[in-house]
Structure 1
Amino acid sequence: MKLHSNNHSVFLMYYHLVFVVKYRRKVFDDEMSDYAKDMFIKLGKKYNISLVQWNHDFDHIHILFKAHPNTELSKFINAYKSASSRMIKKDFPQARKKLWKEMFWSRSFCLLTTGGSPINIVKKYIENQGLK
C-alpha cells in the first residue's frame, strides 16, 4: 500500500461515489458513460481527485476515486453534477427525451469512504492505545 503525501500530511483516502439519473431514467450507455468519465477525470484534476475505477448501469454510475485531505468534496461533486448535466444533455439529445427538465442527476448521491482497515480493527487499535 503506497501512501501519498504533501507538505504537511501523509494520507490514503479512497471514496466510493454513486450518482443516480433523475427519476431513475434508463439513459446511460457505454458512449455516454465514457463521456461522463472523461469529464470526471478532467474536472477531478482541479480538485486533486484521481479516478481509480468507473462503471455504469442504465440509470446510475459507480465511481471509486482517491482524494487529498484538502479536497472540498461537496464543491467538487456539485461542480461535476452541474457541468456533466449540462454537457450530457447538450451532446446527447436522446437524454432530453427522457429527462424533460434541466436536471440530469438526482439531487441526492451516495458517498462512502473505503479502503484501509475494517472499522472494527481501527476501533480496537484506538481502544488499545496507551495501555502498555
Structure 2
Amino acid sequence: MKLDNNNHSVFLLCYHLVLVVKYRRKVFSDQMSQYAKDIFVRIGSSYNVTLEEWNHDQDHVHIMFRAHPNTEMSKFINAYKSASSRLIKKDFPEVRRKLW
C-alpha cells in the first residue's frame, strides 16, 4: 500500500467498518449497495476519506477505507449513516416495508 503524507508526517490509516441492517433483515440488493457506495464516496470526499474496498451481503456491508489523521471519524460515520439511511428509505420504498 502507498503511504499518505501531508506537510509534516507520513501515515497510513486504514479502517474496516461493518454496517448491519436493523434486525439483520435481508434487504440489500446490488443496486442498493451501489447507491450506498456512491453516497459513501460523495460524503467521504469532504472528510478526506478514500474508499478502498466495498463488499455487501443481503444483511450487511463491509467497507475498507483510508483516512487522514485530522479526520473526525465519529462525525464522518454519523454523517454517512444519517444520509444513507434517509436517502435509501426515500429512493427504495420496499426497504421501509421490509423493516417495519
- TM class by shorter chain equals over 0.9
Structure 1 residues 10-64: Cα deviation after superposition (integer angstroms, max 9, x where no partner): 1011111000001111100100000000000000001000000001000000000
The alignment of Structure 1 onto Structure 2 pairs a total of residues equal to 100
Q: Separation in 2 of the partners of 1:13 and 1:77? A: 15
Greater C-alpha radius of gyration:
1
AA aligned opposite 1:30: D
Q: Distance in 1 between matches of 2:59 and 2:48?
A: 27
Matched, 1:64 2:60: no
2:28 aligned counterpart, secondary structure: coil
TM-score scaled by length of structure 1? 0.74
Which one has a larger percent helix, Structure 1 or Structure 2? 2
Which position in structure 1 is the counterpart of 2:78? 78
Amino acid at match of 1:90: K
Q: How does 1:31-42 map to 2 (within 5 A)?
A: 31-42=31-42
Unaligned segments of structure 1, at least 5 residues: 101-132
Equivalent residue letter for 1:46: S
Instruction: Give the whole-Å Cα distance in 1 for the aligned partners of 2:97 and 2:2.
Output: 46
Q: 2:33 & 2:95 partners in 1: Cα distance?
A: 12
1:46 aligns with 2:46: yes
Amino acid at match of 1:21: V
- 4+ runs deviating over 3 angstroms: none
Q: For 2:2 and 2:63, how far apart are their aligned partners in 1?
A: 20
The structural deviation recorded for 1:78 is 0.5
Paired position in structure 2 for 1:26? 26
How far apart in 1 are the matches of 2:97 and 2:38? 23
Find the counterpart in structure 2 of residue 3 from structure 1: 3
Which stretches in structure 2 are left out of the alignment for 5+ residues? none
Q: Output the amino acid matched with 1:19.
A: L
- 1:87 aligns to what? 87
